[in-house]
């Protein structure tokens, strides 16, 4: 191999490594923040609304789809899973203005205390927020005065959202166990 050939060989080798590395990395690349509107200043929004967990009557919005397990002896309904499509209203009355729906599930995940794992999207239907969502996930020890859940993301106007929700029980139906919960949600978004 002459010196020229040798350098040509090395150059080709380096070039092909570069092309291969480039091809492998093509599915992810850095982009400018401004293309996603992230150069704008963050906004902080406070939502106050009421979440209606209607578990009985003609039109329940929250249904237990998995019954409690009999494999452990608890009083916490451990293992129960409820799927919900609950109204979110401006005031505490169900007849007040509907601003969205809470769609998701809660599961009883405490064996010694009534703890729920809540995973749900708030799908807004009101004004400019119509069609946008925020996603809430967290632990809800239902007998505590105030509970705090995380806002872990969102869509539409709430892309890149993060924050938290404070829950206070407003009313409990002693017969059915249905509840109205006040939500104060604080969200950072763009």
CB 155 within 8 A of CB 132: yes
Element holding 19 (H helix, E strand)? helix 3-24
CB 88 within 8 A of CB 51: yes
Closest approach of ligand NAG to the CB of residue 24, in Å: 40
| Angstrom distance (rounded) from CA 70 to CA 158 | 41
Smaller CB distance to ligand NAG: residue 13 or 125? 125
Closest approach of ligand NAG to the CB of residue 130, in Å: 4
Name the nearest CA neighbour of 106 among 83, 133, 138, 74.
Answer: 83
Would you tell me which residues interact with ligand NAG (CB under 6 A)? 73, 125, 130-131
Closest approach of ligand NAG to the CB of residue 111, in Å: 12
Smaller CB distance to ligand NAG: residue 131 or 177? 131
Closest approach of ligand NAG to the CB of residue 88, in Å: 13
C-beta atoms surrounding 137 within 10 Å: 15
Smaller CB distance to ligand NAG: residue 5 or 73? 73
Smaller CB distance to ligand NAG: residue 62 or 132? 132
């Amino acid at each position: 191999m002459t010196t020229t050939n040798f350098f040509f060989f090395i150059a080709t080798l380096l070039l092909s490594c570069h092309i291969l590395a480039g091809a492998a990395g093509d599915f992810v690349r850095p982009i400018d923040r401004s293309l996603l509107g992230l150069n704008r200043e963050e906004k902080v929004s406070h939502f106050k609304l009421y979440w209606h967990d209607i578990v009985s009557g003609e039109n329940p919005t929250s249904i237990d789809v998995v019954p409690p397990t009999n494999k452990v002896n608890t009083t916490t309904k451990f293992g129960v899973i409820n799927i919900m499509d609950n109204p979110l209203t401006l005031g505490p009355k169900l007849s007040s203005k509907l601003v969205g729906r809470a769609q998701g599930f809660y599961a009883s995940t405490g064996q010694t205390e009534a703890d729920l794992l809540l995973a749900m999207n708030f799908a807004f239907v009101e004004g400019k927020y119509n069609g946008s969502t925020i996603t809430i996930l967290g632990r809800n020890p239902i007998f505590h005065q105030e509970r705090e859940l995380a806002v872990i993301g969102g869509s539409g106007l709430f892309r890149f959202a993060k924050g938290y929700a404070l829950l206070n029980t407003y009313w409990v139906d002693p017969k059915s166990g249905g509840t109205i919960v006040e939500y104060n949600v604080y969200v950072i978004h763009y």
